Chains A and B, each alone.
Chain A
Amino acid sequence: MSINLFVLALTGIILIFHEEIDSALGVVPAAQAGENRTSLAEAIALAKQGEPGAHPVFLFADEEEHPGVAFVGMSKTSRKLDDAKTVSVDLRRGQLLPTVDFDGSFTGVVFRLHAELLAGPIGRLLVGVVALALVISLVSGAVVYGPMMKRFAFGLLRRDRARRTFLADLHKLVGATTFGWLLLVTLTGLFLSLGSVALQYYSVTELAALGAPYAKEPIVEELGSVDEAIKTAESTAAGRSWSFVALPGSDLASPRHYTVLLKGGTGLQSRMLTLALVDAKQPSRGEAHELPLYLKVLLLSEPLHFGDYGGWPLKLVWTLFGVTTLVLSASGVWVFASGRGDRRARKRSQVIDDAEERAALSSP
């Protein structure tokens, strides 16, 4: 458990600074300065030229992080979002940008190690099991902590005793003081590990029900209406702008609809995406839909897990908590390992004592 926690904490600390690392390594190509002159429909057409034979499955943009760049997900094998390869388009020059290999980048590998132990969807569930075990150990640790520490002053570190005693004290002190943060980050990590399952569930239940009347229609391949569809979606939620579009036929949209995710507002509202379904054949027809509670919890879990909502001060707080988690897990491993060593030594001396006693009894 402690080793898992050590890996998760170490990779988590690196991921706090993923934007800075990606920007320093030049992972995401930047667009030229200026105004966007290329429509999103043209961006999709450019992506199709760049990936012949592949289907566009999603469209994504983030004007704050990557101004002037649209990311188009292209897939040759299926229409699943997970299988798509991302193609970047410079909306200012109307050109394809060099291919972005998010998965192969340094932070991409660190993220996959953190979120799925480099083992794909099974690894994601495995991380969920680790998170659940961690929640249980945190709660049980808190229950055991009180009676055990009653005799001692809070925060006592017995430096003059054996190293094991000192590290056990340190483990308890760090665990007790950072309990709130650790529990929050572990719980949100548990929710996020179930994120893809929750999204799939939403896709096959509520979204499937909304698109049921069109389920047997052919997939709309002509996507010239995407710009108008986005305007329609934005008109359903005042003050919000689009951030992601699942294109018709993908696993988050019906064969005939765009599923547009909208973001905006301040504070908590800015974290709550809203959703609009827009008809790809008649892009002036669109309607807003409320996301279910479990997806709202999932959206709320993301900032509380990554600590990316308070700028540099919060990043620093997250890093310091991450470092204390490293101390917690390393001291936990040490205390456990040295305890086993002590037990083994005690057992060995007991066996020797028994043998000596038997020898003494059997001797005439």
Chain B
Amino acid sequence: MKTYAIPLLLTIATWIGLFWALADSGAADHLGVALALLPLLFLARASRRTRRVQHAQSSTRR
């Protein structure tokens, strides 16, 4: 479920964020940009989490 659900949610968040920022030139502009930033934050988090898990696995093996 997660394999499709997370990319789908990130796609929806990106699109809402970018269209929201385009439609509004006020304060919501920044909220839209922040929403569009979510996939990148998720990417950084996923990469860091894997590194942590692997570090823990290698420590256990040792």
Give the B-binding residues of A (Cβ under 8 A).
142, 145-146, 149-150, 152-157, 159-160, 173-174, 176-181, 183-184, 266-268, 270-271, 300, 303-304, 309-311, 313-314, 317, 320-321, 324
Contacts and interface: CB of A to CB of B under 8 A. Distances in A.
A328 to B, nearest CB: 11
Contact of B21 (A150, A300, A309): A309
Interface string B29-59: 1101100110110110111011100100010
A149 B3 contact: yes
Given A183-B11, A267-B23, A154 B46 contact: yes
User: Among the interface residues B14, B24, B51, which one has the most CB atoms of the partner chain A within 10 A?
Assistant: B14
Contact of A157 (B15, B45, B50): B50
Nearest to A271: B22
B11 A179 contact: yes
Contacts of A314: 21, 33, 36
B40 A317 contact: yes
A203 to B, nearest CB: 27
Given A154-B2, A310-B33, A314-B33, A178 B24 contact: no
Interface of B: 2-4, 6-7, 10-15, 18, 21-26, 29-30, 32-33, 36-37, 39-40, 42-43, 45-47, 49-51, 54, 58
A184 B50 contact: no
A228 B47 CA distance: 61
Top 4 closest pairs, chain A to chain B, by CB:
A155-B46, A180-B11, A180-B14, A176-B7
Contact of A317 (B36, B42, B43): B36
Contacts of B4: 145-146
Contact of B22 (A179, A267, A311): A267
Contacts of A184: 14-15, 18
Contacts of A324: 40, 43
Contact of B32 (A150, A180, A181, A310): A310
Contacts of A177: 6-7, 10, 39-40, 42-43, 46
A146 B2 CA distance: 9
- Tell me what chain B mostly uses at the interface: helix, strand, loop, or mixed: helix
Nearest to B24: A267
A317 B33 contact: yes
A180 B6 CA distance: 12
Given A176-B6, A178-B43, A313 B33 contact: yes
User: Among the interface residues A145, A156, A181, A184, which one has the most CB atoms of the partner chain B within 10 A?
Assistant: A181
Contacts of A300: 22
B47 A155 contact: yes
A155 B50 contact: yes
Contact of B50 (A159, A178, A180, A183): A159
Nearest to B9: A180
A268 B4 CA distance: 31
User: Among the interface residues B7, B11, B29, B43, which one has the most CB atoms of the partner chain A within 10 A?
Assistant: B7
Nearest to B13: A180
A309 B17 CA distance: 12
A159 B3 CA distance: 19
Nearest to A145: B3
A180 B33 contact: no
Contacts of B51: 157, 159
A173 B43 contact: yes
B30 to A, nearest CB: 7
